Structure 1
């Protein structure tokens, strides 16, 4: 009787694709939230937006970099799951996945940390408002995106280790 269960490679490729899709969703929502965050200053009547703060500009930059990288990796993952072949074959593809996931996850956590830090400072001595609430939510979603990318990094490290051991 033949075993009809999927191979561990198929399961890990599918899990990796799922993690990349979840990262994509969370980064996309985080990008929208920080981009639409605006507030009118009660004292001066000026509009406050994310681009008025270097920290939020850094945060949105990390979101965009992570978003673009993740979009690329999603395409690679879809191709791999559908065809069973890797787009970047050989050791270079495994190394690109491994180091790319590591570097991007560090970018994402630094952007999230920066966003949380500024939001806490802006809320100090003032009640929370829609601007800081959206910025906080965006930083939270960025943190979740980091967690999914870190989990994907674990899968790519196993794939790299397996590739190295089989060579």
Structure 2
């Protein structure tokens, strides 16, 4: 046996085996993966916005309805009725409008979420949501701020069930305003970030 035959197996044993290097996926596959995850994230965000908007409108409906009921039932045997004061009639009128608006919007959104069908184009619905929420929020805070000074003056003279009821109706209008104001922010975000505008 020659020296070269003895050394040959040792050289083979000393060299490590060559492992193939992992290859990166093609650029188009990476773009498709990130694009798909981006679309999924956007769908989840849109679904969260829809559900959040529905919850806020449901709260606004509840508060508006409470304001309407409390103010409409604020009639007492001592001759003090809400309809003797313009400010309180204004609170009642805006509470009725807010109840109708938020009730209609909540029903529309429940129908859209359950069936996936839209009554109007998505662009028109986004505009309706944005402007409707802002207008109703403005009217609610306007009515609450118009009736608050009169209620404070009445409470200085005599704090009774009439003033307590008016204060409760005003506070419900204010809570309805807060709910619609946040809903208007959601509507503005949806309006600004959609490509159909």
Tell me the TM-score range normalised by the shorter chain: 0.7 to 0.9
Corresponding position of 2:48: 11
Q: Any idea what the Cα deviations from partners look like across 1:98-148, whole Å, max 9, x if unmatched? A: 111111100000011112122012223x12100000000110011000000
Q: Trace 1:99-138 onto structure 2 (pairs within 5 A).
A: 99-124=131-156, 126-138=157-169
Aligned mate of 2:186, from 147, 155, 158: 155
Name stretches of at least 5 consecutive residues in structure 1 with no aligned partner: 42-46
Q: Bigger radius of gyration, 1 or 2? A: 2
Aligned mate of 1:69, from 101, 106, 110: 101
Structure 1 stretches of at least 4 aligned residues deviating more than 6 Å after TM superposition: 3-6
Q: How many Å separate the matches in 2 of 1:166 and 1:88?
A: 13
Q: Trace 1:35-114 onto structure 2 (pairs within 5 A).
A: 35-41=72-78, 47-114=79-146
If asked which structure has higher relative contact order (CA below 8 Å, sep 6+), I would say: 1
TM-score (norm 2): 0.74
Q: Any idea what the Cα deviations from partners look like across 1:85-105, whole Å, max 9, x if unmatched? A: 433223222111111111110
TM-score (norm 1): 0.87
Report the count of equivalent residues: 159
Shift of 1:10: 1.0
RMSD over aligned CA atoms reads 2.0
